[in-house]
Chains A and B, each alone.
Chain A
Amino acid sequence: GQQVMQIPQYQHVQEGEDFTTYCNSSTTLSNIQWYKQRPGGHPVFLIQLVKSGEVKKQKRLTFQFGEAKKNSSLHITATQTTDVGTYFCAGLGFGNEKLTFGTGTRLTIIP
């Protein structure tokens, strides 16, 4: 079945450093979504990427969808304490409309 892997599982960075999490799917995806979950909270939708090679930005966050539509990345520039949380990717399969979540990357910030 469809599997979505995320690396790294954990990332500790100094405030102001950059952060990147990577997402890889075992199958080609229709689209990929990214969510953020603050500690003790619930996942909150950030963005959806649909096109091959697509790049989208939200302030300090940059999202990319790979050319083959099997991988994606989220890059945060100059992290802030408000960026703390777990970032999940979720891939939507072709035809089955099944959204599979990755295992998430937990980001902690050292002030």
Chain B
Amino acid sequence: NAGVTQTPKFQVLKTGQSMTLQCAQDMNHNSMYWYRQDPGMGLRLIYYSASEGTTDKGEVPNGYNVSRLNKREFSLRLESAAPSQTSVYFCASSFQRSYEQYFGPGTRLTVT
């Protein structure tokens, strides 16, 4: 089992460009999450999907959109990238919301 996979690993964007971060899990988990990690800020929840077909805003959703494509896949889209979105992005999944989370390897995004 691959666990949680993310693509790409690294990305550099210019301000105003758009991109989609992909995430997939093969653990048959119901819940999936997108976090961003900035120095000294810990992990902040952007969006989550408690189950297939549902998505909800987290702590810092502005500037992002998500799609729960099916039970396995949960993508994060930046429509118009801004330098403030420079960060490391982690996707995670869990069996249910109260259970432990399994994280992907992360995407390091730089917006210039």
Which A residues fall within an 8 A CB radius of B? 6, 9, 30-31, 33, 41-45, 48, 88, 90, 92, 97, 99, 101-104
Contact residues of A: prevailing secondary structure: strand
List B contacts of A90 (CB < 8 A). 43
A45 & B42 in contact (Cβ 8 Å cutoff) = no
For chain B, which range describes its interface: under 10, 10 to 19, 20 to 34, or 35 or more residues?
Answer: 10 to 19
A93 (CB) vs chain B CBs: closest residue: B98
Question: How many pairs, one residue from A and one from B, have CB atoms within 8 Å of each other in the complex?
Answer: 41
Given contacts A42-B90, A43-B90, contact A30 B42 (CB under 8 A): no
Interface-side segment among B15-23, B60-68, B69-77, B102-110:
B102-110
Given contacts A101-B42, A101-B43, A103-B42, contact A30 B101 (CB under 8 A): no
B100 & A103 in contact (Cβ 8 Å cutoff) = no
A101–B103 CA distance with the chains assembled, in angstroms: 14
B43 (CB) vs chain A CBs: closest residue: A101
Question: Which residues of B85-112 are within 8 A (CB) of A?
Answer: 90, 92, 97-98, 100-106
A72–B14 CA distance with the chains assembled, in angstroms: 42
- Most chain-A CB neighbours within 10 Å: which of B44, B100, B101, B104? B100
List B contacts of A44 (CB < 8 A). 103
A92–B98 CA distance with the chains assembled, in angstroms: 7
A44–B103 CA distance with the chains assembled, in angstroms: 7
Nearest chain A CB to B107 CB, angstrom units:
11
Nearest chain B CB to A31 CB, angstrom units:
7
A33 & B105 in contact (Cβ 8 Å cutoff) = no
B104 & A42 in contact (Cβ 8 Å cutoff) = yes
A48 & B97 in contact (Cβ 8 Å cutoff) = no
